[in-house]
Structure 1
C-alpha cells in the first residue's frame, strides 16, 4: 500500500510540474517588427504579421524544453514550424527559429518575441 501511495504522489507531482511549465509560456508575444504570437492554455496559437498581411492559427506543444508551433493559414496552407527554447525562471521573451526540417511553406524571420503583460 505504501508503494502505491508513493507512486500516486509522484505521478501527481509530475503532472503538476508539467502543467505549471506549460502555463509559463501562455500569453501574447510581440516582435519588434509587429509580428504577434498568442499562446493559449488549451494549446492553441494565433499568429499575425501585419507587415505581410499574414495570419495563421494552429497548436503549440512542449518537448525537450522547447515550445513548438505548428500553423496553417486561412487558405489551409501549412506554414513552416517554428520553435523556441524555454528559459528557466520567469519568461519575458522567447527567441523563435524555424525548424530546419519543417516541410511547411512561407518565410519566417527568426527573432525575439517579448511577452506582453496580460
Structure 2
C-alpha cells in the first residue's frame, strides 16, 4: 500500500519560536480478515481525528469528506459520512464484481483551521 498525504495548518507568524504544530491527524478503522480483505459491500470505515498529544489541543473535527474507488483511483464515489465529534463513519457501497481492492480518499478539517487530505491507493483488498 502506498499513501499520499497533504497537511496544512494556520501559518505561524514571523518571529514566533519554533514549536510543535497542531497538525490534524486521522486514524482509520476497518474490519478486515487475516488477508487484509473486507467483504464486497457494507463494510464500515471509521475515521477518528486527533492531534499530537504534546500540542495540548483536542481534535474537534469540523468536517470530513470520504470517497471510495474500486478501480485504483480512476473514478471516485463520495460516501455518506455519519457521526459527530472526532469519530465519523461511512458504509461502503457494493463493489463491482471485478473489483479486487478499495482505495480511499479523505479530506478532513478541524475548528482551528488545520486540514489534511489523504489518498490511500489499494488501502485493502476485497474478498472474492
More strand by share: 2
Q: TM-score, normalised by structure 2?
A: 0.35
Higher relative contact order (CA 8 A, sep 6+): 2
More helix by share: 1
Q: TM-score, normalised by structure 1?
A: 0.36
